[in-house]
């Protein structure tokens, strides 16, 4: 599993490769959180009064294997945590 970071403008994105699939978490300038799988938007959580934003999806791999991808973004501490099957793959501070 590989993870990369890209901060373009005021939004920040985090890309993770998972076997033959890739997924990307984007924290928008207004703190919305978006989850893309193979460049297709799967989930969006809009910034509300909630402190922590949460998105998740199932990623289907070969032979009907599945991975459960979750991301939590704490808007106060600016911490983004990404897990796959409850195992941490990325823990980052969003600028």
**What pLDDT shows up at residue 24?**
94
| pLDDT for res 80 | 96
> What does the DSSP assignment read for 43-82?
EEE---S-SEEEEEEEEE-GGG-EEEEEEEEETTTTEEEE
Can you give the residue ranges of every domain in the chain?
Answer: 2-93
DSSP code of 31?
-
**What is residue 57's predicted lDDT score, i.e. its pLDDT?**
94
Residues of the chain with pLDDT below 70 are: 1-9
The strands making up 66-74's β-sheet, listed across from edge to edge, are 52-60, 66-74, 79-84, 87-93
φ, ψ (nearest 5 deg) of residue 4: -135, 160
Rounded-to-integer distance, Cα 22 and Cα 16, Å: 6
Q: Output the pTM of the full model.
A: 0.85
pLDDT in tens, 55-75: 999 988 888 888 899 999 999
CA 52 – CA 49 distance, rounded (Å): 9
């Amino acid at each position: 599993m590989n993870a990369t970071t890209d901060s373009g403008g005021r939004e920040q994105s985090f890309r993770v490769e998972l076997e033959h699939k890739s997924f990307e978490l984007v924290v928008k300038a207004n703190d919305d959180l978006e989850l893309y799988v193979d460049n297709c938007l799967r989930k969006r959580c809009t910034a509300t009064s909630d402190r922590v934003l949460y998105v998740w999806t199932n990623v289907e791999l070969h032979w009907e294997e599945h991975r459960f991808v979750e991301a939590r973004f704490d808007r106060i501490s600016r911490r983004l945590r990404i897990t796959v099957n409850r195992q941490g793959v990325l823990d980052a501070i969003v600028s």
